[in-house]
Structure 1
């Protein structure tokens, strides 16, 4: 059976942060890996001072630049099949604001052409066609809260889940291809145990600014998943360097020279090479001693 893995993300860089090692590992073993990115991230913060003019409130030219960053990141991961949902610029980044409770929300003003405002069925149909074309056994996306509440992450979750359901209906939109039922769907997760251990190491090393306000022994934000809810881990330590190179391909979005990156690199590849998932659809396959699948295609 030819393996096919489909990932649905909101903005360029989300895929490398969440699934870079997974993508590189499956590419290396011959799996067809397809990435669908829903927006160009036009509203993102620009971390490079000399590129600040690209920001949405100035020249509004960040989107095309982030596409070049996406191109570079995919080269680092070996992914050749990556697409923008509906084509470049079809859906605009919604942007976000921070809620007083510490998670993202939509801003007070949301443009009509943003992904958050998209008609769910229209957006899902664009993905249905891709699903029926590449016929993935496994689909990866966010949970219902989009990890930390970003409206585009939430919408990507909704579109991915709805499209997977519609794609499996034999009588639905025959013009979009033959029906295909995705066997397993995973939501991105972050291990609470690993996160607490990493925070503890950072604090013990004197780094109090990375993940500011987060206590290794205190409450953690919603993107951190309790370990008992996790279903799978992809151990891709040998691909951690490729993941970090992919993340470095996004200088406007990811600052890799800070103390967190410096320290985490010295801790070895376990931080960047291990990526965790929650099984949202399908039957779990064989597990390791920790009760986790080590292959997203396990049991198929």
Structure 2
């Protein structure tokens, strides 16, 4: 098998996470000829359903949302051009854990969790589903969440843990030789949002006419997924692929309101609000673009 010169692996928790956080990045690298592999850890069985005629798919009714969200994921990846997307351990191996909101406004584990929930997964077992993929695809760049899962969702936190543990195990030559030849991922990033860009996005979206967008959010006291610019390392300009990202978000119709503020923007505002995706480099050597504090390419320096 001939490997692409540039190989990107993303580990996300549920269908739609990948598009919201990394959709433009994925589309950009696919368009540039890189190999992009997406691993989704669950089918999002516990997600909220925003389409009234599909409410019967909910976990407390038909419990069929996961299979439907897989079709949404397939459609979204087709729109972004991603042809290699897999479910960790195979479909149904790990179930969406669900969540609730705590007193601080962050997500946390629900009071009742399914026995097969990803949050309950054995860390070594889950990592061993990812190790052979890392060794097979040999990515130079791995993208996942920070240790808080960006906002506390247990599946995001677990995806972070599994991705990092698997990367460590995959790099050890003596570990599970049956899972392939060792590969040490050179660069690992965490997805992030820029505080300054989020403040500006809220301002522009409200000026565009949606006064309810993020209503109640204090621009001077943003949630933990908003990161100080000094702690960001990469800003990937995906503005030429904003339309593809928006279309992919529409494909996740059960999770993202198609008449919501994401789609009510003029094209230039949308490009500024959603076209640049930010990352924190947690392994590897930063290689910022000339005259910038940020890398503009996740493969920079390799």
Normalising by structure 2, report the TM-score. Answer: 0.96
Name the CA distance, whole Å, in 1 between partners of 2:111 and 2:69: 25
The CA deviation string for residues 143-183 of structure 1, in whole angstroms up to 9 with x for no partner, is 00001100000000000011001100000011100000000
Q: 2:92 aligns with which of 75, 89, 95?
A: 89
**Matched residues, number:** 299
Unaligned runs of at least 5 residues, structure 1 = none
Matched, 1:105 2:96: no
Which of 145, 163, 168 is the equivalent residue of 1:165?
Answer: 168
Q: Is the 8 A contact 1:140 1:185 kept in 2?
A: yes
What SS does the aligned partner of 2:9 have?
A: strand
- Paired with 1:261 and 1:103, the residues of 2 have a C-alpha distance of 25
Whether contact under 8 Å (2:242, 2:270) holds in the other structure is: no
For residue 43 of structure 2, the aligned residue among 40, 53, 56 is 40
In the aligned structure 2, how far is the partner of 1:288 from the partner of 1:44? 42
- Equivalence for 1:127: 130
RMSD: 1.3
Given the alignment, which residue of 277, 291, 295 partners 1:275?
277
Deviation (angstroms), 1:288: 4.1
Q: Distance in 2 between matches of 1:135 and 1:88?
A: 23
Q: 1:120 to 1:270 in 2, by over 3 A?
A: same
Aligned counterpart in structure 2 of residue 69 of structure 1, from 67, 72, 87: 72
The question of whether the paired residues in 1 share the 8 Å contact of 2:206 and 2:212 is answered with: no
- Pair 1:137-2:133 in alignment: no
2:180 aligned partner:
177
Give me the whole-angstrom Cα distance separating, in 2, the residues matched to 1:240 and 1:207.
20
1:18–1:275: 8 Å Cα contact kept in structure 2? yes
Contact 2:16 2:73 in 1 (8 A): yes
The 5 A counterparts of 1:1-300 are 2-205=5-208, 207-216=210-219, 218-259=220-261, 261-263=263-265, 265=267, 267-300=269-302
User: How far did residue 203 of structure 1 move?
Assistant: 3.7
Alpha-carbon shift at residue 264 of structure 1 (Å): 6.1
Are the aligned partners of 1:207 and 1:260 in contact in 2 as well (CA < 8 Å)?
no
Displacement of 1:266 after TM fit?
5.7
More deviation, 203-212/170-179: 203-212
**Cα distance in 2 between the residues matched to 1:111 and 1:257:** 32
**Deviations for 1:79-107, whole angstroms, at most 9, x for unmatched residues?**
00000000001000000000110000001
Q: 1:267 Cα deviation (Å)?
A: 1.4
What secondary structure is seen at the aligned counterpart in 2 of 1:165? helix
1:260 deviates by 5.0
Partner SS state of residue 277, structure 1: strand
